[in-house]
Structure 1
Amino acid sequence: MNNYPKLHNATWPGLVGKGPDSEPVIEFDHLLQMTAAADVNGIKFDGVDLGLMGPHVDIDSSDDDIKRLADKIASHNLVVGSLVAPIWGGPVLGSDADRAHFLDMVKKACHFGKVLRELGMRPSGVIRVDSASSPQQWDADPVGSTQLIAKTFRAACDIAADYGEQIAAEGEICWAGMHSWRTMIDTLEQVDRPNMGFQADMSHTLLYTMGYNREQDRILPEGYDWQDRSVLTDALKTLTDALRPWTIDFHVAQNDGTVFGSGSHDKTGRHCQATDPNGKLDVANDAGFWLRDENGNLTKKMRHICWDGCMFPNAVMNNQQTWNDILATMIQVREKHGWSE
């Protein structure tokens, strides 16, 4: 059995799309318990990726607070991987004060990550960001918007370098400069920092092929018949060949070819359950487009991979079978595209 990449679950789906205008937040401790309880033929999750946002985690935690959090996670035989910086109070396409807030959150997330590494609790992972701005804002001045996003991300990379961290931009259609595969590549090329990369989520990137929020960057033909798998395969190859060289963080996910939003979260690629019969991806197979190079060789770039399933109903997330099904899918990915050390 392969033991790499390590298999992680995300904690932020307990927060994203939840709240007063949606369903209640799912408590952090409960998510940890369900993650730790998942078991498929004796195989369990290895860790969690953390969203550094309240009420789960306080970004202003002291080092002692971070150690207590690490101890709690370790008590479930889990480690920590990538961290999501809570940058949404500071849209990059906002004011100077907004961008200063954005960079302050990146700095705090990098410190958080450094402490966890020093505690021996974080063997792999990146700091994940987005532009915290909308495609509509970007559309008002595409050239200037990308330049401003890239400038801000360069500053974030400089901060991260002081902490030995990498910054990964989330490829999601609701974020300015990240809302299509071509705009994402343009942003990354303009940032031009060795510690800047791309965070690929299989659900969100499927929407890239469909041209949501930027029709001119569509790869799949309009009116595509989902029964013709060869066309989708070609589209995924085009997409991943372009973005794989930038990819430093990877989320396993399923999508039914539609967008969805809940709570305060804008519409983006719908995360479906691992066993959803309407899912358009062959998850275990299609993960290989990201985890193998254009010649089919393992890249071994991702030391861990993470399941992301945001905006699931709480009834789904509170069902232990959901997490067993997710873990089973993750195991299939590792068996097809993993390795042993």
Structure 2
Amino acid sequence: MAEGNTYPKLHNAMWPGIVGKGSGDGEPIIPLDTLLELTAKAEVDGQKFDGVDLFIVAPHFDIDSSPDDVKKMADHIAGYGLKVGSFVAPIWGGAGGGSAMGSEEERKTFLSQVRKACAIGKQMREIGIRPTGGIRIDSSTSVEEWDKDPVAGSKLIAETFREAGKIAQDHNEFLVAEGEICWGGMHSWRAMVELLEMVGMPGVVGYQADMAHSMLYTLGYNAEADRILPKDFDWSDTAALDAAYKKVADALRPWTLDFHVAQNDGTVFGSGDHEKTGRHCLVGDPNGRLDITKHAGYWLRDEKGELTKTIRHICWDGCMFPNAVMERQETWNAILGAMIKVRDAHGWRE
């Protein structure tokens, strides 16, 4: 049998153990070690996850970790046979940061969190455990707040992102903004493109395409003017879904530097203190609207169908699943199986 593709590498996200957990009506936070163990044990036909993407926040991995702490964490993850990829920087107010369109002080704390995450990223690259990946940021402001003055709001977010981009450049890092409908100025595909163009740092400040969140763009949640599919859309019309999804991907693919494989049922969901955003579903969910393997190709291949090879690793994102689901080994074996199918269809060997 011919050997399979070796790129993009397959990663599992650690932040679903934190996002929507541990506060309000959320379930308890799932410890990092639990997720690392489940990831390391996952196996399908002899293939395993290559690495993990991290949320640089306590209790998983404190943003204020010392260089010694970072080295210990790198060694700890390496002990599971895993590499490290992309980070989520805790730029939100509740996590020690502030709004990208907030006061001068809020924007300073936002940039401070980016600087800390970049320093950790650089150290992990030098250690050798982090061969790929960017650092995730958001506008950290609500759609309602942004909507009070969209022009001024996006301009301020772009200024903050540009300053953050300069910090990333100083550390030989790049930043990625994920298109979630809950973040002002990033809540529609058109607003996201306009924001990235306003920042004007291609290759340094780009887009993190999550398959599920990006699909919500076609439905116009929080941005009726940018809706592509009709309100009464018939989900059995797969050709219309494909065309709408391709329109979003074509607009954002040139900016895409990081990619999340995910499934979505076309609805929104929030948990704990997390705002409502696209509902992530398991790979076998009968209500899942995406053809995971096919639609992943919209991001990993260009408009001519050729591999872009821009994305060196892909990551599964499944935020706000119940703990009972996340703590079953079968869940991660199924997810790994879906990831392997994506790599088989849209990967390459090196």
TM-score range, shorter chain: over 0.9
- Structure 2 distance, partners of 1:11, 1:222, is 34
* 1:296-315 pair list within 5 angstroms: 296-315=305-324
Q: Which residue of 2 aligns with 1:63?
A: 67
What SS does structure 2 have at the residue aligned with 1:258? Answer: strand
Number of residue pairs the alignment of both structures matches? 341
Q: Which residue of 1 aligns with 2:329?
A: 320
- Find runs of 4+ consecutive structure 1 residues off by over 3 angstroms: none
Q: C-alpha displacement at 1:291, in angstroms?
A: 0.4
What SS does structure 1 have at the residue aligned with 2:289? Answer: coil
What SS does structure 1 have at the residue aligned with 2:271? Answer: coil
Give the root-mean-square deviation of aligned CA atoms. Answer: 0.6
* 1:189-268 pair list within 5 angstroms: 189-194=197-202, 195-268=204-277
Which structure 2 segments of 5+ residues have no match?
Answer: none
Q: Which residue of 2 aligns with 1:11?
A: 14
- Structure 2 distance, partners of 1:30, 1:319, is 11
* 1:72-111 pair list within 5 angstroms: 72-89=76-93, 90-111=98-119
Q: Which residue of 2 aligns with 1:155?
A: 163
What SS does structure 1 have at the residue aligned with 2:260? Answer: strand
- Structure 2 distance, partners of 1:259, 1:114, is 35
Answer yes or no: is the 8 Å Cα contact 1:79–1:121 preserved in 2.
Answer: yes
From 265, 284, 287, the counterpart of 2:293:
284
Q: C-alpha displacement at 1:338, in angstroms?
A: 0.4
From 143, 152, 167, the counterpart of 2:175:
167
Normalising by structure 2, we get a TM-score of 0.97
Counterpart amino acid of residue 261 in structure 1: G
Normalising by structure 1, we get a TM-score of 0.99
- What is the CA deviation profile of residues 206-258 of structure 1, one whole-angstrom value per residue up to 9, with x for unaligned ones? 10000000011011122110001100011111111110000000000000000
Answer yes or no: is the 8 Å Cα contact 2:101–2:160 preserved in 1.
Answer: no
What SS does structure 1 have at the residue aligned with 2:153? Answer: helix
Counterpart amino acid of residue 73 in structure 1: I
Q: Which residue of 1 aligns with 2:48?
A: 44
Q: Which residue of 1 aligns with 2:184?
A: 176
Answer yes or no: is the 8 Å Cα contact 1:93–1:137 preserved in 2.
Answer: no
- What is the CA deviation profile of residues 149-207 of structure 1, one whole-angstrom value per residue up to 9, with x for unaligned ones? 00000000011110001011111000111100000011000000131100000010010
Q: Which residue of 2 aligns with 1:117?
A: 125
- Structure 2 distance, partners of 1:303, 1:5, is 5
Q: C-alpha displacement at 1:274, in angstroms?
A: 1.1
- Structure 2 distance, partners of 1:185, 1:309, is 24
Counterpart amino acid of residue 182 in structure 1: R
1:129 aligns with 2:129: no
Identity of aligned residues (%): 62
Which structure 1 segments of 5+ residues have no match?
Answer: none
What SS does structure 2 have at the residue aligned with 1:197? Answer: strand
What SS does structure 1 have at the residue aligned with 2:331? Answer: helix
- What is the CA deviation profile of residues 89-119 of structure 1, one whole-angstrom value per residue up to 9, with x for unaligned ones? 2012221111000000000000000000000
From 23, 31, 38, the counterpart of 1:34:
38
- What is the CA deviation profile of residues 53-97 of structure 1, one whole-angstrom value per residue up to 9, with x for unaligned ones? 111011011111000000010001100000111000201222111
